Structures are given as C-alpha cells and as structure tokens.
C-alpha cells in the first residue's frame, strides 16, 4: 500500500507494533522442552488479546497462528506437538497479522540457548545484510539493486541466498505490489521502490541451498541442497531518505 494520510500511517504502526511485540514475546517464551505447537498457541493467544488476526491463517488457511521453522526447515514450518525444541536449535519464527484493516509482517531466526552447532555466524550475517539492505532503500531505487546488494553481501560472507523466496509489498493485504523483492539481482525486474509505499523486506541467507522446496505436508520448505538458512524481516515505509522501520520493536537486530 501507499501511505497517503496520517490515519494510514497510524494504522500500519499499530499493526506492526502488534506483530513485533508477538514475535519478541514468542522468542522469549521459546525454551528447551517446549513444542512448536505450544509456542504457536502462546503467540495465538497474544494475537487474540490484541484483537489481531493471523495473516497466514486468514489468507491461506495455514494450520497455525504463526510459522515456526526448525533447523533445516527454511520457512512455513507447521507448529506441531511432535516438534520439541532443544538447546542449540536454529529456530525461525515468522509473525504476520491483520489489525483493523492493516497488515504487517516480520520474522527472525535465532539459536536457542548455547550455540553448540555454530549457527550464530549465519544468523549474524543475515541480520547485518538485512540492515544494509533496508538502509539502502529509498524512493526511486531499483528493486533489483537491493537484491544485488543482498546476494553480494552474502557471497562476501561465504553464503548463498534462497532465490525463490522474496520480500513483498504489504499493508491492505499480506502480499501486495511489489510482489517480489528478491535476494538476488533479478535482471528482468525493472521496478523501483516508491516513496510512501509499505514493504516487508526479508533476507534468506543460506549455507548450501539456493532454492526452497515444498515438502509433502504442502507447506514446509527445505533447501534443495540441504544446509541451513537464516531469515530476518522488517516491515517499513519507504521515504526519500532513511526508511521508517515499523516493526523495529521486535529487536531482531539486538538478539
């Protein structure tokens, strides 16, 4: 969406603060021995308390309030009583929601407890690359240039990017124009970021894979060549200068 009046900015701020708060609270609630279903139900209760609705459930009838992906899962992991989180797990929580007609999206990967499997460098790279990408975005910048920045920074850090998962426009629905804010330079994408528009920008930084493959459950994505992926995501308003990061209170950069 494009922000054209103060009430729209306030609406987006409220929806974004809701998803950011839920993400932060779910991350704090995640402890060894808990199931991803328990963690999801905890987030779902906060959604309800805030008067918000789960965006993946509302839009796609996703079987969970949020997406929780474990270890080799890239995204869209289904919350389950069979998945018990352990010390050192690589966990990704993605929270998107609708509140009073406005939609916002955010997510982040983190290590649970001690980093016994050495995932932290991957996570750190993802966070730093997202920061660089976001602060390079302003009205008139080519979307493909941001993709090039993400891919190039990943390569410099010794990683790859997932090419078939992208950021996107957001605001009045979960996915809007621009539909693809890729993590690589898409030479066929001539679109530019527009001032006052709202986008969800996300990194998918990978140790081995370049494509996400849907599993038999119809939702869960894993890499075509294995390995691990870190994802971090903020919703923001594009300006002529520094963007307004609407989901900043999720503190994904401060973990």
**Residue 27 pLDDT:** 98
pLDDT band of 187, cuts 50, 70, 90? confident
Residue numbering of the annotated binding site:
76, 94, 105, 168, 175, 202, 233
pLDDT band of 133, cuts 50, 70, 90? very high
Q: How is the chain split into domains, by residue range?
A: 6-250
Backbone angles phi, psi at 40, to 5 degrees: -65, -40
* Exposure string over 74-83, b if 16+ CB within 10 A, otherwise e: bbbbbbbeeb
**pTM of this prediction?**
0.97
DSSP secondary structure of 27-79: HHH--TT-BHHHHHHHHHHHHHHHT-EEHHHHHH--SSSSEEEETTEEE-PPP
**Residue 220 pLDDT:** 98
Q: Listing from the earlier edge strand, what are the strands of the sheet with 212-214?
A: 73-75, 221-223, 212-214
Residue numbering of the annotated binding site for a divalent metal cation:
94, 105, 168, 202, 233
Calpha distance 56→225 (Å, rounded): 27
What pLDDT, in 10s, does the model give residues 209-255? 999 999 999 999 999 999 999 999 999 999 999 999 999 999 999 87
> Of 234, 252, 220, which is closest to residue 28 (Cα–Cα)?
252
Q: Is the pLDDT of residue 90 over 80?
A: yes
Thinking of the domain 6-250, which architecture would CATH place it in?
Answer: Alpha-Beta Complex (3.90)
Calpha distance 50→123 (Å, rounded): 29
Residue numbering of the annotated binding site for substrate:
76, 175
């Amino acid at each position: 969406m494009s922000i054209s009046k103060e009430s729209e900015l306030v609406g987006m701020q409220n929806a974004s603060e809701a998803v950011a708060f839920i993400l932060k609270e779910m991350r704090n609630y995640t402890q060894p021995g808990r199931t991803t279903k328990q963690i999801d139900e905890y987030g779902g209760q906060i959604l309800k308390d805030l008067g918000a609705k789960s965006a993946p459930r509302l839009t796609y009838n996703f079987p969970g309030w949020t997406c929780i992906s474990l270890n080799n899962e890239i995204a869209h992991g289904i919350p389950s009583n069979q998945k018990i989180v352990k010390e050192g797990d690589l966990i990704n929580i993605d929270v998107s929601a609708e509140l009073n007609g406005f939609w916002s999206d955010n997510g982040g990967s983190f290590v649970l407890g001690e980093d016994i499997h050495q995932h932290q460098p991957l996570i750190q790279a993802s966070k730093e690359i997202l920061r660089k990408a976001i602060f390079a975005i302003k009205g008139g910048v080519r979307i493909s240039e941001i993709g090039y920045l993400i891919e190039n920074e990943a390569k410099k850090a010794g990683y790859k990017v997932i090419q078939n998962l992208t950021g996107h426009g957001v605001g009045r629905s979960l996915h809007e124009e621009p539909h693809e804010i890729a993590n690589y330079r898409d030479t066929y994408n001539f679109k530019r970021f527009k001032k006052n528009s709202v986008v969800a920008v996300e990194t998918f930084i990978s140790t081995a894979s370049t494509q996400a493959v849907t599993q038999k459950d119809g939702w869960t994505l894993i890499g075509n060549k294995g390995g691990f992926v870190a994802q971090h995501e903020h919703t923001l308003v594009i300006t002529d200068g520094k963007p307004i990061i609407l989901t900043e209170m999720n503190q994904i950069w401060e973990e």
